[in-house]
Amino acid sequence: MAKNLLIVESPAKAKTIEKILGEDFEVKSCYGHIRDLEKDDMGIDIKNNYRPRYIVPADKEKVVKELKAVAKKSGEVWLATDEDREGEAISWHLCEVLGLDPVTTKRIVFHEITHTAIKSAVTKPRTVDMNLVNAQQARRILDRIVGFELSPVLWRKMSMKNNLSAGRVQSVAVRIIAEREREINAFTAVSSFKIEALFTANDVNGKAVTFSAEGKKQSTAENAEKFLQSCIKADYTVTDIQVKPGKKSPAAPFTTSTLQQEASRKLGYSVSRTMLLAQKLYESGKITYMRTDSVNLSELAMGAAADQIKSQYGNKYHQARKFKNKNESAQEAHEAIRPTYMDSMTVEDADCRRLYELIWKRTMASQMADAELEKTIAKIQISTNKEDLTASGEVLKFDGFLKVYMEDRDEDDMSEEEDGQEGMLPPLAVRQKLPLKEMKAIERFTRPLPRYTEASLVKKLEELGIGRPSTYAPTISTILKRGYVEKRDKEGVKRDFRILQLQNDKIEKLVEQENTGAEKSKLFPTDLGLVVTDFLKQYFDDIMDYHFTARIEEEFDEVARGKMQWSKMIDDFYNPFKKDVDNTIENAERIKGERELGIDAASGKKVVARMGRYGPMVQIGDVNDEEKPRFAKLKNTQSIETISYDEAMELFRLPRNLGIFEDKDVTVNIGRFGPYIAHDGKFYSLGKEFDPYTISFEVAQPMVVEKRAAKEQRTIKVFEKEKIQLLRGPYGPYIKQGLRNYKLPKEKQETAADLTIEEVKAIIEEVKANPPKRVPRKKKGS
């Protein structure tokens, strides 16, 4: 009897499921999507109800051929692609390509890859849900329309060497980052003075311990000094003690978004790395499905968690909890991300272990008792001015869920006053006199909101209702790849701050330094990102509007629920959008992103910072002047929006002549491909660790010798007139002509040094006529 064929998305999942289903089923992978829209003419028939035109890409032809062959000899074909809209669409595409009827073909879904879940799914097959398919198609078609219509507008209106692109979600994500950057640039820090007093009192063992108390913040240095003067010769008396019980409750189990955020905060993972590892854990049967916006746990999962908590920590640590989604569009039928088996505390795979343990701890903590605290607040009166100081301490009475896990927080959510957990206070009594060690008024500055990390951007997108669990990672990857945003660190700068110190009834004024503004792995908009954002906001306000983008997401949800026709939804969007596109191409000015900085004292010409063909630059003079303008490229850390006149003029110090070596100048400059040293007509790239504006002759000269020797060692032969080189590479000899490389045939590699210019030219022509086939990159599920 012929076996049943079950098709899944990834080979890893196929192996796991085949073991579960046994000999009745053959399980094959389709390696993600098997069809996509044609590239020509958008792949959409605009005039025929936006009918999509799908093709099987070249890299999927072999997979499709194999699936057709296996399907032909199988008893019945079952579809078990992922349970989200993308998975549903893949099932429908498989029906179309394999000649299956979506109305009768068996489709199974499961939230976890376990024996119970798979066997249960096989007993309750359904058919392809065309509402989910239509929602996925609507998203794909609408995003294709936006990308294909908007991107050419940017090409026409902006002179850039790379192909610019725009997208419905990616452009809004760049806007969020750009607006935060501008808030930070416009921010002016305001200082105030924090009052902090140190007292001593005996602890339970009679040992003197130091604790702190805080007073009312003072707005200026003068007010702070007046306050300290009013405390000279004062007595300090405890006037009130309050002991308040408190509690902390655990966070809900992970959704896609909260997993990405917490993996970033606790493990330092990028969003794409988190999803890659979560995919591996799901496919190997370790966790439930990793694309979900639900915080729900099944009764079975809650029961397993309860058993694990009671056996590992004791009954008093267990507290069953049902979490509800704030997001109304979340699918409650789905579960949160959780371990498949609660008694598995870790996994063998070293790459996945840290993420799995984070998921395990978060899930356990969600079903554990509250942590019980006791907070003590003591009021201390100053006799000379009747002002109060407040000392507070916190004692953990019962750790509860904290035994396993404590959620981290984003910088955005933390106040400037928070310095971590409060310490304990020694035993104090009302009317107790306290000896003052010292009192300080410390200058503190307000801070702008921090730049976004990948994870805090995901949080913001989710709050605005933009995108869904499957879109966050690709959106961030796209805006980084397109060069609209870059992820980098920012070094802090030194800043003076004042301290007024009262000790032994004398006030001393001190100035200390602190490092401020340092940031790690933050998202910075590039000048390109800022300029494109401004252009799109000016001419395509709907596309860039947060509420409009969120409404589109809601309409996709309506299509998924069968309450809206997808073609009508696209039509309502397309008609006004197309008018904006045509109007912009006709009437909009070219994008310059230009900012005037001043006048060059030497030439009397205008100095502007603007976008050029190869990125942001500074220009002295105008193209209409008799004399050609002078150009200088901005440093990576500089921006058109913030560069000063002095900083701009500093850039024109290049090229710098460093000195003479072997009777020839050694110069340093910046070109299209970055900084370089030039000597005797040869060019040597400068590593990132060297600054072309400060590098000395003593450092550069040995580099010329070293790099020249390395270049000579690589060189087999040079044809000066034709500007063709024969070079040694890591994979054998090759030909270099301009910026292009041509591999030598195997039979010519050993005799490369003997090749004539005619033979070399013949090899180049042969390679051009028969270019080597590129190995396609594997897509989702591979």
Q: Residue 718 and residue 753: Cα distance in Å, rounded?
A: 10
CA torsion angle for 632, 634, 639, 641 (degrees, to 10)? 0
**Which DSSP category does 616 fall into?**
E
Phi-psi region at 659: left, alpha or beta (left = phi > 0; alpha = psi -120 to 50)? left
**Which DSSP category does 227 fall into?**
H
Q: Residue 358 and residue 370: Cα distance in Å, rounded?
A: 19
Q: Residue 473 and residue 471: Cα distance in Å, rounded?
A: 6
Beta-sheet pairing, 236-248 with 519-525: unpaired
Is 289 an active-site residue? Answer: yes
Q: Residue 451 and residue 411: Cα distance in Å, rounded?
A: 9
CB-based contacts of 446, cutoff 8 Å, min separation 6:
189, 190, 191, 192, 416
Q: Residue 553 and residue 502: Cα distance in Å, rounded?
A: 59
End-to-end alpha carbon distance in the chain: 30
Q: Residue 559 and residue 149: Cα distance in Å, rounded?
A: 24
* Dihedral of alpha carbons 123, 301, 327, 450, sign: negative
Q: At 91, phi and psi to the nearest 5?
A: -60, -45
Q: Residue 468 and residue 549: Cα distance in Å, rounded?
A: 12
Upstream peptide bond of 11 is cis (omega within 30 degrees of 0): no
Q: Residue 325 and residue 558: Cα distance in Å, rounded?
A: 18
* Active-site residue identified among 50, 282, 289, 356: 289
- Angle ∠(683,687,692) on CA atoms, nearest 5: 75
User: Length of the chain in residues, anyone?
Assistant: 782
What are the b/e assignments for 759-774, b being 16+ CB within 10 Å?
ebeebeeebeeeeeee
What is the DSSP secondary-structure string of 479-524?
HHHTTSEEEEEE--EEEEEEEEEEETTEEEEEEEEEEE--EEEEEE
Catalytic residue numbers read: 289
